[in-house]
Structure 1
């Protein structure tokens, strides 16, 4: 059996698979990230905790391209804008397509200490469920009502006092 030959190289294939649009952010056109560069994946933990401008520049260069950080700063980008763009870019790079509004809301939730998704409604729902559960005991494994256990099998034998 003969191996089937293809005329496309991997580079041509990957360019086709990862082709994406561009976005204009603060007047600067950037390619929408479609994958986390391997170099970034290897450095992400170090770069996340760093406050060094050089490390930040490295992160942005790997994600959006050379000199983008300086160009955004020169265009007047603020910190909240930057965090929003970074959240948007990382989401796209990991395969999650989000809007700028969704990225902005995730940043606000993160800053409010709520993690990546707002939890206010979930917390309230959990509290209501806890109140219901306390009123009607449920089995831990099935969620159904627990069967009543007779006092004969769980009670202790009465002992007379020695007084």
Structure 2
């Protein structure tokens, strides 16, 4: 059997990955076609982060553009949320339109999770995730398992 010359992995992946770009706020960005493992891990690491620098790090990993570039171009928080929602969908293989991403942000429909503005503090994100209590207007506290659990049963042997 003769060896067949094949291209390198990098050449192959560059060929199958889309080279599509979009212009967002006057800046040409590559459309994410895959979610780099590093991005997935950083999203988990930064889930409760209040730092815009952390959001900027994710933007650079996903789009190859800095947060400062979009800030200078006049991008607002809702726009940024929409771009992130759209980019994450594209990276996951879902060809979502900008309008669909905006609708998801406005409705808070992000895979069943509420969408809080990037950089919003933890209290704001928590407040967005639960309905206020009827009597106090605050969120309900978790009931301890001691008061709601059933009595432990012993085995008969």
**Band of TM-score, shorter chain:** 0.5 to 0.7
Q: Give the match for residue 22 of structure 1.
A: 21
What is the TM-score when the length of structure 2 is the normalising length? 0.66
SS of the residue 2:108 aligns to:
helix
What do the CA deviations read for 1:71-93 (whole angstroms, capped 9, x no partner)? Answer: 10000001111100000000001
User: What does 1:63-142 align with in structure 2 at a 5 Å threshold?
Assistant: 63-67=62-66, 69-110=67-108, 115=112
Q: Give the match for residue 8 of structure 2.
A: 9
**Once superposed, what is the RMSD of the aligned Cα atoms?**
2.3
8 A contact 1:20–1:31 mirrored in 2:
yes
Tell which structure's C-alpha radius of gyration is larger: 1
Q: Higher relative contact order at CA 8 Å, sep ≥6: structure 1 or structure 2?
A: 2
How many pairs does the alignment contain?
114
Change (3 A) 1:3 1:44: farther
Change (3 A) 1:23 1:44: same
Q: Which has the higher helix share?
A: 1
Unmatched segments (≥5 aa) in structure 1: 118-163
8 A contact 2:29–2:65 mirrored in 1:
no
Change (3 A) 1:98 1:3: farther
Superposed displacement of residue 3, structure 1: 6.4
What is the TM-score when the length of structure 1 is the normalising length? 0.64
8 A contact 2:31–2:87 mirrored in 1:
yes
